[in-house]
Chain A
Amino acid sequence: MPGRARTRSSPLPGFGLSLGITILWLSLIVLIPLTAVFVKSISEGWQTFWAAAGSPRALAAYRLSFGAAAIAAAVNCIFGLLVAWVLVRYRFAGRRFLSALIDLPFALPTAVAGIALTAVYADTGPLGAFLASAGVPIAYKPAGVVVALTFIGLPFVVRTVEPVLSEVSSEVEEAALTLGATRLQTFFRVILPTIAPALATGFALAFARGAGEYGSVIFIAGNMPFKSEIAPLLIVTQLEEYNYAGAAAIACVMLVISFAILLLLNLLQHWQRRRLAQ
């Protein structure tokens, strides 16, 4: 076992202790509790599982959660790239402030984000009044879910693209220029392919976060079953009706999809490392 041999070769103490604490704590806080979801979801048989996880109401909720998350992540790819580009390439007054502000969605509690976005986008709010009179009401509609998830997802794309964008070598760009490419051609043919893996990673991170998001969405969404009810809210509703197996079944579906995204993310990061190594 080469792994064990190398472990012994490290002269530092505390391997057993630190790994022991890590695995114990990880199992107690994360792994064993997560297992409970899977076990509980099938505890009353497959029929109960599908009755809850495959009900029309649940399907509508997945569609909204994952659909809105995908739209929001796509929007964030465009504007996140714009913001990352401006932060990396240009020097201007207020750049540091802008950069610090990007992380606001990470730092602001989701419930606060939820009521703040509702205040802005409700018919009485500064933007909501304008948008409603233009015929695009946002609050208490599925569009509200997209707005909330766009708010939450922005830093994921910006922070993933920034470091890669700053490492695009100017030599490649010079070469493109020498070969007669316009600036726009250089961007689409040279720069975009280089940062594509990072952009895809940012998309996946924003998508994964958005699909499970709860706090920032429930205030602005309206929460009408079949229309504006997100999957996490449906889990809460099932719990409040003491339908533990049903809640666990829906959670199970959400978890499996999240794990699939996580796997995809690891593949993406592998792709990115290979792309950078070239």
Chain B
Amino acid sequence: MTAAGLREPPATKALLIAAAVLYVAVMLLLPLGAVLTEALRKGWQAWLAAVWQPDARASIRLTLIVAAISVPLNTVCGLAAAWAIAKFDFRGKTALIALIELPFSVSPVVSGLVFVLLFGAQGWFGPWLQAHDIHIIFALPGLVLATLFVTFPFVARQLIPLMTSQGRADEEAALTLGASGWQTFWRVTLPNIRFGLLYGVLLCNARAMGEFGAVSVVSGHIRGETNTMPLQVEALYNDYDFVAAFAVASLLTLLALVTLTLKSALEWKHRDQIAARH
């Protein structure tokens, strides 16, 4: 009796599930389907030709380079931040965490703008950079800086709660047994957090490869040179070359689907080792 009273009637339950599924199907699945149908509207050959254009290939290469530089840098820094915050007590810890998460609440456009104000032609360091023939804005360094800014919190945010909940008993034991600091980190801490770290890096990489607003501001949109994949999508779309735009977009969609699959697999298999237990 009690159990039955705590559950909704089967009809209500079915209705709620149907409503949720319908909502998600319309809001999320329909746009996903639209990318793939638009990309293949003129067949596989047109798709292949579109993603194999020199400009498209250059954008793929640039996206990979930007991610290959910014993801490792933010991973190392995220690890350092998580070590300091999770393993030690100090004043201003809450403020430091808030500052680390700051980029999440800044508009992507502003994230790009800040570097234009610093390094652009009229920026603080603009004249000096020009005098020394150093290119940051409208070049690779600008793209990397903007990407670093927007992906800054991902790894640290994943690791701080996890490492805090794990405490420092394992590390203290290793040190007592004579391990050095680095040995303790490599042999004790890293294995403990490997799935959480992987999860954070996965999300960081997805954002690094897919970022649009911030890199759009610093890129200068030079085709074949400073257009990353999302920027190439925009350029092709604005040319009314929809098949090509959706073809490049379908590659990014594939990346998103792979990310989601890996993320879900990690959540199902290693839930306890990704996030702190509530």
Contact = CB atoms under 8 A, between A and B. Distances in A.
A8 B175 CA distance: 16
B30 interface: yes
B68 interface: no
A105 B6 contact: no
Residues of A contacting B: mostly: helix
A116 B212 contact: no
A22 B76 CA distance: 9
B260 A100 contact: yes
Contacts of A96: 264, 268
Interface string B73-85: 0001100110111
The range of chain B's interface size is: 35 or more
A235 interface: yes
B187 interface: no
Nearest to B246: A115
A267 interface: no
A106 B117 contact: no
Contacts of B17: 86, 90, 92
B176 to A, nearest CB: 8
17 contacts: A1-B91, A10-B87, A12-B87, A18-B84, A21-B76, A29-B145, A29-B148, A85-B20, A99-B264, A103-B260, A107-B260, A108-B253, A110-B108, A112-B253, A120-B34, A126-B34, A232-B107
Interface of B: 2, 5-6, 8, 13, 16-17, 19-21, 23-24, 26-32, 34-35, 38, 76-77, 80-81, 83-85, 87-91, 96, 98-100, 102-110, 113-118, 120, 122-124, 145, 148-149, 152, 168, 171-172, 175, 181, 184-185, 203, 206, 209-213, 216-217, 229-231, 233-234, 237, 245-246, 249, 252-253, 255-257, 259-261, 263-264, 268, 278
A-B complex: 7 closest residue pairs judged by Cβ atoms: A212-B107, A109-B210, A215-B212, A33-B114, A13-B181, A214-B213, A116-B31
Given A18-B81, A214-B213, 16 more contacts: A14-B185, A17-B80, A25-B80, A79-B20, A79-B23, A82-B19, A85-B20, A86-B20, A107-B263, A109-B211, A109-B256, A111-B252, A116-B34, A183-B8, A215-B212, A232-B213
Interface of A: 1, 3-4, 6-7, 10-15, 17-19, 21-23, 25-26, 29-34, 36-37, 40, 79, 82-83, 85-87, 90, 92, 94, 96, 98-113, 115-117, 119-120, 125-127, 150-151, 154, 163, 167, 170, 173-174, 177, 183, 208-209, 211-215, 219, 231-233, 235-236, 239, 242, 244, 247-248, 251, 254-255, 258-259, 261-262, 266
